[in-house]
Amino acid sequence: MATIINYSDTPICVKARFVGEDCPKWSHGFKKKHFKVTVSANEAVYTFDFWGNTRTHKPMVRKELIEAFEMFLSEAIDYDNCKNIDDFQAEFGFEKVSECIDAYDGCKKSWEAWKKFHIDAYELDNWLRETFNI
Protein backbone atom coordinates (compact mmCIF):
# COMPACT_ATOMS: atom_id res chain seq x y z
CA MET A 1 0.00 0.00 0.00
CA ALA A 2 1.19 3.50 -0.73
CA THR A 3 -0.25 6.95 -0.29
CA ILE A 4 0.71 10.44 -1.31
CA ILE A 5 0.49 13.29 1.17
CA ASN A 6 0.20 16.52 -0.79
CA TYR A 7 1.87 19.03 1.51
CA SER A 8 2.40 22.51 0.10
CA ASP A 9 4.26 22.00 -3.19
CA THR A 10 5.90 18.80 -1.99
CA PRO A 11 4.30 15.39 -2.53
CA ILE A 12 5.39 12.96 0.18
CA CYS A 13 5.08 9.27 -0.69
CA VAL A 14 4.54 6.83 2.19
CA LYS A 15 4.42 3.10 1.52
CA ALA A 16 4.53 0.01 3.68
CA ARG A 17 5.48 -3.64 3.26
CA PHE A 18 4.20 -6.25 5.72
CA VAL A 19 7.11 -8.15 7.30
CA GLY A 20 5.30 -10.43 9.74
CA GLU A 21 4.25 -10.62 13.34
CA ASP A 22 6.88 -10.53 16.00
CA CYS A 23 7.58 -9.34 19.52
CA PRO A 24 9.75 -6.23 19.69
CA LYS A 25 11.63 -6.07 22.99
CA TRP A 26 9.45 -3.21 24.25
CA SER A 27 6.17 -5.10 23.65
CA HIS A 28 6.46 -7.28 26.77
CA GLY A 29 5.96 -10.46 24.76
CA PHE A 30 2.88 -9.32 22.83
CA LYS A 31 2.98 -9.90 19.09
CA LYS A 32 2.68 -6.81 16.91
CA LYS A 33 2.27 -6.50 13.17
CA HIS A 34 5.63 -5.46 11.73
CA PHE A 35 5.95 -3.26 8.65
CA LYS A 36 8.80 -1.62 6.80
CA VAL A 37 7.62 1.91 6.02
CA THR A 38 9.38 3.95 3.34
CA VAL A 39 9.02 7.72 3.05
CA SER A 40 10.22 9.63 -0.02
CA ALA A 41 10.15 13.33 -0.89
CA ASN A 42 12.53 15.86 -2.44
CA GLU A 43 14.76 13.04 -3.72
CA ALA A 44 15.33 11.76 -0.16
CA VAL A 45 14.24 8.27 0.92
CA TYR A 46 14.12 6.74 4.42
CA THR A 47 12.85 3.35 5.58
CA PHE A 48 11.98 2.52 9.18
CA ASP A 49 10.36 -0.29 11.14
CA PHE A 50 6.81 0.21 12.37
CA TRP A 51 4.94 -2.10 14.70
CA GLY A 52 1.25 -1.62 15.22
CA ASN A 53 -2.14 -3.10 15.80
CA THR A 54 -3.44 -2.56 12.31
CA ARG A 55 -6.81 -3.93 11.29
CA THR A 56 -5.31 -6.41 8.83
CA HIS A 57 -1.93 -7.83 7.95
CA LYS A 58 -1.80 -6.12 4.60
CA PRO A 59 -2.17 -3.71 3.13
CA MET A 60 -2.09 -0.84 5.58
CA VAL A 61 -4.86 1.62 4.85
CA ARG A 62 -4.19 5.32 4.14
CA LYS A 63 -4.97 6.41 7.71
CA GLU A 64 -2.50 3.88 9.15
CA LEU A 65 0.21 4.95 6.71
CA ILE A 66 -0.27 8.59 7.69
CA GLU A 67 -0.16 7.66 11.39
CA ALA A 68 3.08 5.70 10.87
CA PHE A 69 4.56 8.68 9.03
CA GLU A 70 3.44 11.07 11.77
CA MET A 71 5.07 8.81 14.38
CA PHE A 72 8.37 9.06 12.49
CA LEU A 73 8.00 12.84 12.26
CA SER A 74 7.10 13.13 15.97
CA GLU A 75 10.18 11.15 16.97
CA ALA A 76 12.35 13.50 14.96
CA ILE A 77 10.75 16.52 16.62
CA ASP A 78 11.12 14.94 20.07
CA TYR A 79 14.86 14.67 19.51
CA ASP A 80 15.14 18.21 18.18
CA ASN A 81 13.23 19.62 21.15
CA CYS A 82 15.46 17.94 23.73
CA LYS A 83 18.93 17.90 22.17
CA ASN A 84 20.50 15.99 25.06
CA ILE A 85 19.68 12.76 26.79
CA ASP A 86 19.09 14.37 30.20
CA ASP A 87 16.38 16.64 28.79
CA PHE A 88 14.93 13.67 26.91
CA GLN A 89 14.75 11.58 30.08
CA ALA A 90 13.13 14.43 32.01
CA GLU A 91 10.60 15.04 29.22
CA PHE A 92 9.51 11.41 28.82
CA GLY A 93 10.14 10.07 32.34
CA PHE A 94 12.09 6.93 31.52
CA GLU A 95 13.01 4.97 34.64
CA LYS A 96 15.38 2.52 32.98
CA VAL A 97 18.52 4.09 31.56
CA SER A 98 18.77 1.48 28.78
CA GLU A 99 15.22 2.23 27.57
CA CYS A 100 15.93 5.96 27.60
CA ILE A 101 19.12 5.49 25.57
CA ASP A 102 17.36 3.25 23.03
CA ALA A 103 14.50 5.73 22.59
CA TYR A 104 16.84 8.73 22.42
CA ASP A 105 19.03 7.05 19.80
CA GLY A 106 15.95 6.11 17.74
CA CYS A 107 14.64 9.67 17.82
CA LYS A 108 18.08 11.01 16.91
CA LYS A 109 18.19 8.63 13.93
CA SER A 110 14.75 9.89 12.85
CA TRP A 111 15.89 13.52 13.13
CA GLU A 112 19.06 12.89 11.10
CA ALA A 113 16.97 11.19 8.40
CA TRP A 114 14.31 13.91 8.48
CA LYS A 115 16.79 16.72 7.79
CA LYS A 116 17.48 15.19 4.36
CA PHE A 117 13.89 15.88 3.28
CA HIS A 118 14.33 19.68 3.53
CA ILE A 119 10.80 20.19 4.86
CA ASP A 120 10.05 22.12 8.06
CA ALA A 121 9.15 19.35 10.51
CA TYR A 122 7.16 21.57 12.87
CA GLU A 123 4.98 23.14 10.19
CA LEU A 124 4.31 19.76 8.59
CA ASP A 125 3.47 18.21 11.97
CA ASN A 126 0.92 20.96 12.68
CA TRP A 127 -0.54 20.61 9.18
CA LEU A 128 -0.85 16.81 9.54
CA ARG A 129 -2.61 17.14 12.89
CA GLU A 130 -5.08 19.70 11.53
CA THR A 131 -5.68 17.98 8.21
CA PHE A 132 -5.95 14.38 9.40
CA ASN A 133 -7.05 14.86 13.03
CA ILE A 134 -4.10 12.89 14.34
pLDDT tens digit at each of 134 positions of the chain: 899 999 999 999 999 988 888 766 666 666 778 889 999 999 999 999 888 765 555 567 888 899 999 999 999 999 999 979 999 999 999 999 999 999 999 999 999 999 999 999 999 999 999 999 88
Cα(117)–Cα(18) distance, rounded to whole angstroms? 24
Helix (H, G, I), strand (E, B) or coil at 52: strand
How many degrees, rounded to 5, is the angle at CA 36 between CA 34 and CA 38? 150
Domain ranges, ordered by start, for the chain: 2-132
For residue 7, report the phi and psi dihedrals to the nearest 5 degrees.
Answer: -105, 120
Q: Are strands 2-7 and 10-22 parallel, antiparallel or unpaired?
A: antiparallel
pLDDT for 101 equals: 95
pLDDT of residue 78: 96
Strands 32-41 and 10-22 turn out to be: antiparallel
